[in-house]
Amino acid sequence: MPCVNDAELWRRYAARMNAPRSYRLYWEDFPVGHVMDFGGMPVSREAVVAFASQFDPQPFHLDEAAARETVLGGLCASGWHVCAMTMRMMCDGYLLDAASQGSPGIDALRWHQPVRPGDTLQVRMEILEARPMNSKPHIGLVRSRWAVRNQRDETVMTMEGWGMFLRRPADPAP
């Protein structure tokens, strides 16, 4: 699924802010073992260089000739850029339609191989654990593993972490 554009994101955000709170996905929609595939984000040279220029100005993210002289062997996206692109795909894939309450953090993050201009990224999310939050029983915790793959189905990044989601409201009594 391709990522939505900024205008569509703002439209969805404005619609949610001006409407009664109802979500398509709640904690109950993330059972252990559930798998979701989403994404389809193309990686451009311009985006790689722009991100690196602002946030990670190492030569192998900025200059093709300099990058060829490194162990990476060519221009590649910053790992932090890959994380940011993954977050965008997560938002487009499910978070903007979910009763998400944020995240207490990421437990594991690995960059397995370089992401190059011209790659197209996809994400596979697998739910590893789901339980109600002890201190806030109206919120459920979900531990997930995300595998980011390129168009050749090669894993370029993995991460594991937690999300917090509202639990589905009980139906009102008749």
> Is 61 a member of any domain?
yes
Count up the domains in the chain and report the number.
1
Q: How many residues does the chain have?
A: 174
Structural domain range at position 126: 25-166
pLDDT of residue 170: 80
Query: How many Å is the maximal CA-CA distance in the chain?
Result: 70
Q: What is the pTM of this model?
A: 0.86
> Is 9 a member of any domain?
no
> Is 4 a member of any domain?
no
> Is 171 a member of any domain?
no
The parts of the chain modelled with pLDDT lower than 50 are: 1
Query: Residue 117 belongs to a domain with what CATH number?
Result: 3.10.129.10
CB distance 98 to 24 below 8 Å: yes
Query: What CA–CA distance (Å, rounded) separates 23 from 96?
Result: 9
Q: What is the pLDDT of residues 131-148, one digit of tens each?
A: 999 999 999 999 999 999
